[in-house]
Structure 1
Amino acid sequence: MRINGFDYQRVRVADDAELNVAVAGTGSPIVLLHGFPQTHLMWRHVAADLAADHTVLVPDLRGYGDSDKPAEIDENTYSKRTMAADVVALARAFGHDRFALAGHDRGALVAIRAGLDHPGTVTHLASLDVLPTLESWEVLRGVRGAIGWHLYLMAQPAGLPEKMIAAVADEFYGSFLDQWAGDSDAIPADVRAHYLHKSREATTSIVADYRATAGIDVVHDTADKTAGNRLTMPVTVLQQDWGAALGFDAEAIWSAWAADLHHRTTNARHFMAEEAPAEVVKAIRELLARE
């Protein structure tokens, strides 16, 4: 499936990976990164609006959708540092040395890492419904860890989690589309089928992505936190009211990472770019207007 009005290309971003990317529009560039268990298609409404006055690049992350799914050679293959470098290389392939970046869920973790590793390259950063890696593990433990049970499953050594998920792939991936949605009509049957099919094909690499978030990503984020490194560009966070349910202050967590932060709690559920695209577009446009 494709975003209407967008051209599609495959772009080599690393020795081991080409990314599938949808491109449209002219003007200042913005890259949109998808979440789990989705593909670039989750941005179809938002991307079409932004393309009216921006150059919009919408890739499938490495390991997802129609992008390459390299074998997990080591812990770095699917680290957020590697995936962030993919995004920077992608933008440069289109002639953009500086660009805005918006990410949802897994894509937001990649966006955060890109902002920390490439502060002179990422001009603005939007994060949709995720906490930074370290704080996610701190919050989702004990009884509260049941909400993030899949994080613990996919953190296990290679082999067993992939086999377990593959045995019931549609039920596994579909459970998140069902449980995290506020409006099932926002993900039509053909889009849902696309997500399930592409996730089923990518189970090994999806697990590798999550495994990295329980390993090398924690190492990288801990090093930044210890050094006092923060996101220096304007940052907007759109988030469900997780704190009310799980007993933490999301804005305070984000303030420790972002010097120039606009944090908003939304009534939209997790798939907000599909359920509330107008709200997401408004937030991104307001972010891009900040200096």
Structure 2
Amino acid sequence: MRTRHSSTLFAAAGATALVLAGCTSTTGEAQSESGVPLVEEGALTVCANTPYQPFEFERDGEVVGFDMDLADEIAADLGVEKKVIQTGFEGIESGADLSTNKCDVAISGITITDARKSAMSFSEPYFDDELGLLVPKDSDIKSFDDIGDSTVAVQQATTGQTYAEGNDLNFEQQEDVELMLQKLETGGVDAVVGNVSVLGTRAADNPDLELVDQQSNGEQLGVGVRTDNTQMLDAVNSTIERVNEDGTMETMRKEWMGL
């Protein structure tokens, strides 16, 4: 894996998203009012990689989506605004963006894996996902078993690529999810392997595409935090617990994924 700004959910939050395409951070000596270390005074700095609809993507000059709504909630609980830094996914999943104080948290549809745990700390899972197979409506591919020698597109550094490599598929890796999906829509590949949450959204928006198969692989998404920032990790987990209990998470899932 690698998910609208809801005025109903976040009118009281006051967490304004400031979108930056690459930014030099401070040393992380700032703190929230509750004493949680921050990269920048008064802001929760969030690393995200777009486009990755419905988790994060640009709309009217703002990065919005499921993950961004979660970031708003974390920022609101900390009493700060939200600042979004758009960055490459490799820097996120490797932990480099966190270890260099580029951001406080990475929220970008990140699947929790043992390898990534060695580079960052993860929150409690906030979303369970599955691997899906997206094809044109008239495709002869009806399941993962039908792929054979067909060419599939995957996003680099994701579990889609891991699946393709592990099953010896003929695949092309794309830098982001939009390029991956465009490759399918223009006939450049026969199928796309990625997460159901993302592929299902595209299928719902494009009647020429069909989500034909999915596999449960135990995939769970988490918020990435610098390994030594235990106070931030505790704060993130507290917010995740709250939004699960007060119905906010359910509202977000319905809004962004129809789940």
> TM-score interval w.r.t. the shorter chain?
0.3 to 0.5
Higher helix share: 1
Larger radius of gyration: 2
Higher fraction of strand: 2
Using the size of structure 1 for normalisation, the TM-score is 0.32
Question: What TM-score do the two structures reach when normalised by structure 2?
Answer: 0.35
